[in-house]
């Protein structure tokens, strides 16, 4: 990272790798972050490495590299920049000022479904290429990579390969985080309650399929992006969600649902509230998921192995209100959300 030939450092380390609090600010109280702050020249965290490398580059009069996040975070570059500056500030305010003025953190949107590895993935390379690949990665054919034009120096000519280079990633972020990420969670929430193992199987159930299409209309009405762009994205995403050649387990998507609701679904609810779009359909999948968690089972009694924070699981088991469970007490629209959720849960 301190070599003059390095122009770009990229991260795909999941949200956990950033040590953020609920508001997406750096959690300096995190044990590993705190340890790194004590010994900044021997970092172990991603943020610690970035700051130390930028410090060494500054001291050697090298241009700072561009730091590019490929993680699913709302405005991932802005969040990374804030985290890096907060960490650097604790070490040396002058270093923080230098990074603020000289380093860049482009926002990106990475849009491609990559399910977890499974045994059958190993068949592809041997069948198609007659080679044995020990770490095949199977993805869908669709991909979209959107990168904000914000680099400190040379960058690859990604546009020649189909990457969208733009000054404003917001419309792409709205479309992907709402019609893919949130939609994934909505389908998975319904599917785990219905006892369905794969995403494409859920999309084959006529009632779920119809519900998902109606839900997309609600999301489009709540989203500040031109309707024609929403419609175009919806037309492309529906076959992706139904792709039976790429089995994606509902359990994978339903893992960490509480965190994903905060990241992907709460912003939709906030917009729905201010734009006066009904929240009933938007909350129903969350209510279904809470029932599956509470009972540890699908509607027909198949066990559901929830992968979520133990405190969330306990709170749901004890019948706590959704606002309390997800830490939404301070939201203006909390009462409405809680009332609708309680109504849906009690009715089913």
Ligand X SMILES: O=P(O)(O)OC[C@H]1O[C@](O)(CO)[C@@H](O)[C@@H]1O
Q: Which does 175 bind (CB under 5 to 8 A by kind): ligand X, ligand NAI, none?
A: none
Using CB under 6 A, list all residues that contact ligand NAI.
12-14, 16-17, 46, 70-72, 110, 112-114
Q: Which does 16 bind (CB under 5 to 8 A by kind): ligand NAI, ligand X, none?
A: ligand NAI
Percent composition of the chain: helix, strand, coil (DSSP 3-state, to 5): 55, 10, 35
Q: Which does 155 bind (CB under 5 to 8 A by kind): ligand X, ligand NAI, none?
A: none
Site string for ligand X, 109-138 (x = CB under 6 A): ----x-------------------------
237 binds ligand X (CB under 6 A): no
Stretch that binds ligand X, among 99-107, 157-165, 178-186, 315-323 (CB under 6 A): 178-186
Whose Cβ is closer to ligand NAI: residue 60's or residue 305's?
A: 305
Instruction: Tell the smallest beta-carbon distance from residue 238 to ligand NAI (Å).
Output: 17
Residue nearest to ligand X (CB): 72
Q: How far, CA to CA in Å, does 99 sit from each of 26, 136, 262, 343?
A: 16, 38, 30, 50
DSSP 21-39: -TTSSB-TTSHHHHHHHHS
Closest C-alpha among 115, 142, 110 to residue 251: 115
Phi, psi dihedral angles at 148 (to 5 degrees): -75, 135
Phi, psi dihedral angles at 23 (to 5 degrees): -95, 15
Provide the pairing of β-strand 164-166 with 144-148.
parallel
Stretch that binds ligand X, among 59-67, 142-150, 179-187, 306-314 (CB under 6 A): 179-187
Instruction: Tell the smallest beta-carbon distance from residue 121 to ligand X (Å).
Output: 16
Whose Cβ is closer to ligand NAI: residue 46's or residue 196's?
A: 46
Closest C-alpha among 22, 255, 64 to residue 154: 64
Asked if residue 177 lies in contact with residue 110, where contact means CB atoms within 8 angstroms, the answer is no
Closest C-alpha among 12, 9, 16 to residue 50: 9
Q: How far, CA to CA in Å, does 172 sit from each of 148, 201, 232, 300?
A: 11, 27, 12, 39
Q: Would you state the structure tokens that stand for residue 20, as one six-digit string?
A: 């953020």
Contacting residue, 28, 152, 181, 339, with ligand X by CB under 6 A? 181
Closest C-alpha among 78, 79, 114, 90 to residue 39: 90
Instruction: Tell the smallest beta-carbon distance from residue 7 to ligand X (Å).
Output: 26
Q: Which does 184 bind (CB under 5 to 8 A by kind): ligand NAI, ligand X, none?
A: ligand X
72 binds ligand X (CB under 6 A): yes
Q: Which does 46 bind (CB under 5 to 8 A by kind): ligand NAI, ligand X, none?
A: ligand NAI
| Alpha carbon distance 234, 239 (integer Å) | 9
75 binds ligand X (CB under 6 A): no
260 binds ligand X (CB under 6 A): yes
Q: Which does 253 bind (CB under 5 to 8 A by kind): ligand X, ligand NAI, none?
A: ligand X
Under DSSP, the state recorded for 110 is: E
298 binds ligand X (CB under 6 A): no
- Where along the sequence are the contacts to ligand X (CB under 6 A)? 14-15, 72, 113, 180-181, 184, 253, 260, 263
């Amino acid at each position: 990272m301190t070599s003059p030939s390095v122009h770009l450092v990229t991260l795909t380390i999941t949200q956990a790798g950033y040590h953020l609090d609920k508001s997406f600010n750096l959690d300096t109280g995190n044990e590993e972050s705190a340890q790194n702050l004590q010994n900044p020249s021997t970092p172990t965290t991603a943020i610690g490495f970035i700051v130390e490398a930028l410090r060494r580059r500054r001291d050697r009069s090298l241009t700072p590299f561009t730091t590019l996040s490929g993680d699913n975070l709302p405005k991932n570059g802005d969040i990374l920049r804030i985290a890096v500056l907060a960490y650097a500030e604790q070490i040396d305010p002058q270093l923080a000022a230098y990074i603020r003025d000289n380093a860049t953190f482009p926002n990106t949107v990475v849009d491609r479904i990559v399910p977890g590895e499974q045994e059958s993935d190993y068949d592809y390379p041997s069948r198609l290429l007659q080679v044995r690949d020990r770490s095949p990665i199977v993805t869908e054919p669709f991909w979209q990579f959107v990168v904000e034009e914000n680099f400190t120096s040379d960058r690859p000519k990604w546009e020649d390969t189909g990457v969208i280079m733009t000054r404003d990633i917001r419309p792409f972020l709205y479309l992907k985080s709402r019609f893919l990420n949130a939609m994934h969670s909505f389908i998975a929430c319904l599917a785990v309650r219905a006892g369905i193992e794969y995403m494409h199987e859920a999309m084959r159930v006529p009632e779920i399929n119809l519900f998902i299409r109606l839900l997309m209309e609600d999301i489009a009405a709540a989203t500040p992006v031109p309707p024609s762009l929403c419609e175009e994205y919806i037309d492309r995403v529906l076959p992706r969600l139904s792709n039976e050649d790429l089995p994606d387990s509902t359990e994978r998507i339903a893992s960490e649902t509480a965190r994903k609701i905060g990241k992907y679904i709460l912003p939709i609810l906030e917009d729905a509230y201010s734009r006066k779009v009904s929240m009933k359909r938007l909350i129903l999948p969350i209510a279904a998921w809470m029932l599956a968690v509470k009972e540890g089972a699908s509607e027909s009694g198949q066990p559901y192995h929830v992968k979520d924070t133990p405190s969330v699981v306990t709170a749901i088991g004890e019948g706590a209100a959704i606002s309390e469970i997800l830490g939404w007490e301070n939201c203006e629209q909390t009462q409405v959300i809680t009332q609708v959720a309680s109504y849906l849960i009690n009715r089913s």
